[in-house]
A and B are shown apart, each in its own frame.
Chain A
């Protein structure tokens, strides 16, 4: 079956990356495939605009028809993809992880659209690994693991525990992380740091064994803060101390030399050399330490340490020689983590470490973060995934509009209370 045949049968897929055309306008993105289906050879801009408007009305959204889709926020790009599918008389709409890049508010808006579509008689397959969302929106459930169907049934037959059990094939206990009693001076201290227009007045201390959570909504300045702590953005005010000594992070190299590791938000564009092997990816930050006497890359030495990492982090791969792009999201993320552990950092910053990661790998990664902290590393987890923050961190800072507004030991928080604190303005 070709895509065209599937489309003719009324099947439409909203891909994870939306598959839109960033260089074209909203109207053209929405209506052009439908115009093509009508067998038109020439462009009829009037009909294109009318159709696009009709589709936007169907999902009750207002949007500038002449805006370039590449300039739109992610949530709007998704709506464009949905509108396009609707115009092609979709009977079956497959949504592949549609909420990955959306904030809570946008997810709610999306769910409203999904329910409207359902009421109009459209069948929807919702592909997701997010437990809360599946429980909220779905009526029937099929769980796949490692390419096999594990179970299917009505949503009513599932509860949280059963869902997680079938997703992972193991029972996962949800519990708080407690900072072990490790003696040690403050590893990293930031004092009133800020970057003009991005964040301001941020202060905290990080001790060995601690997992410090920094949480806030998209656009709260949390990512900019993370980037600044790794020398990717330059501070305009404030000071950073490592082991009590003032340091200046002018570049990533400075940060690595000071023992800071950073797992970025988007592994595909910031974290991995996708076409290169797993080994090369892991070894990239420490390539200078793996040279033979004549200055060539010491492949034997590399192979040894890469195999250790694959075991240690339970990366599912037959060998380190596979390209990174051949792995699943969760395993790719483990490669990124291995890459930043290889230089043996003392402070590890994880920026949204489990976005787009399956629940099994997610648990592995969270458990590993705890293990690192227990061995004396200072870990900073930046995330807006509330259960993750609660299960991984020992202390939580809440960030809003570029400032730290609250600080709590994790034991004071529940999912409900943290969610409420995040959404109140």
Chain B
């Protein structure tokens, strides 16, 4: 029980509950089944990216290119399908998008390890590079209507809830987020690869000295983030039933915020899937439900920013306090008493 109150997850969970209660009390619509189902639906794409990105932050790096990777993957895939009038099974385009993402992520990973450059700089560069190349070579005309297999998949529902006023459905695409969370959890906690990621994030030099395959693991991590980016891209297109090649661009800060809010230390070495789930919940609720309490779109950015700053500051402050804790030299008794030296 004591341990429960020490973990960061507990505090984020309390934040989620508080946020829900405040919004729900002001506007009970928040607790209606369709609203909750919609929140899960809206978390899908961000979630896929957040879980993968968490691995990049744990290893002591960062990736800001995954939105560009997502856009490239979804646009190239949907554009190709459109031009060939695709009518095959749906898993092939999803696989294709994931493969494009994998390739772009691999390029990131290779540049980072080959030249030993900071991941932030590399991915900032490739983000611009990938997106620029896409717009230059393929153009930026939206795909207004997806090919039938994708369109049909987007309309497949796991279940639907209806009340007096509205109705909402959880689409099958949601399964991809759950799968991503499970895969990341499995890698981080059950494989040597995952423990190597933690080790590198804890102390890279130590990992090298202990003979861990540091570079290979870093390349894997960025490749994996690229794969998740590609997947998130195509899922986004499927969910919105169209493909606009400027969508998602700029979402990286929100995703990073979700991961960091969830207790992943930005300097690496620490992070949990559960924490990221909770961080994602905070961001999703703030982004989608502030409108329910009368905070208009203009103020929404402000409040969202406030939540991120306060949320991350609290966790940073806790870490600071822990590191600055000076062990007392004297007990109360010794302080009051007479010394017998």
Contact = CB atoms under 8 A, between A and B. Distances in A.
B210 A33 contact: yes
A19 B207 CA distance: 8
Interface stretch (B47-55, B134-142, B188-196): B188-196
A197 B328 contact: yes
A300 interface: no
B206 A4 contact: no
Interface residues of B, number: 31
Interface stretch (B62-70, B197-205, B251-259): B197-205
Interface string A105-144: 0000000000000000000000000000000000000000
B202 A24 contact: yes
Contacts of B194: 43
B202 A36 contact: no
Interface in A1-29: 2-4, 7, 13, 15, 19-24, 28
B203 A40 contact: no
B270 A23 contact: yes
Contact of A224 (B192, B329, B334, B339): B329
Contacts of B207: 21
A271 B235 CA distance: 53
Contact of A24 (B190, B198, B211, B326): B198
Contacts, number: 99
Contacts of A32: 192, 195, 199
A51 interface: no
Nearest to A5: B211
B212 interface: yes
A294 to B, nearest CB: 34
Interface in B85-111: none
A247 interface: no
Contacts of B202: 21-24
Nearest to B211: A4
Given A20-B203, A224-B326, A400 B209 contact: no
A196 B192 CA distance: 47
Contacts of A7: 210-211
A407 B212 CA distance: 53
A110 B326 CA distance: 25
A405 B208 contact: no
B330 interface: yes
Report the contact-size class of chain A (Cβ under 8 Å from the partner).
35 or more
Nearest to B205: A19
A198 B201 contact: no
A46 to B, nearest CB: 13
Nearest to A398: B341
B269 interface: yes
A401 B209 CA distance: 39
A23 B329 contact: no
Nearest to B210: A33
A28 B195 contact: yes
A22 B191 CA distance: 20
A198 B211 CA distance: 42
Contact of A3 (B191, B195, B201, B211): B211
Interface in B298-327: 326-327
Contacts of B191: 41-43
Contact of B206 (A19, A35, A43, A406): A19
Contact of B192 (A20, A22, A41, A403): A41
A221 interface: yes
A21 B335 CA distance: 37
Interface string A40-79: 1111000000000000000000000000000000000000
20 contacts: A2-B211, A7-B210, A15-B209, A20-B203, A21-B202, A21-B206, A22-B203, A22-B269, A24-B199, A32-B199, A36-B192, A36-B211, A42-B192, A197-B328, A198-B326, A198-B329, A200-B335, A401-B329, A401-B339, A405-B341
Q: List the 7 closest A-B pairs by CB distance, nearest first.
A: A405-B341, A23-B269, A21-B202, A197-B328, A23-B202, A19-B206, A4-B211
Given A32-B199, A198-B330, 12 more contacts: A19-B203, A23-B198, A23-B202, A23-B269, A35-B192, A40-B192, A198-B326, A198-B328, A199-B330, A201-B339, A224-B329, A400-B341
Interface of A: 2-4, 7, 13, 15, 19-24, 28, 32-33, 35-36, 40-43, 84, 196-201, 219-221, 224, 398, 400-403, 405-406
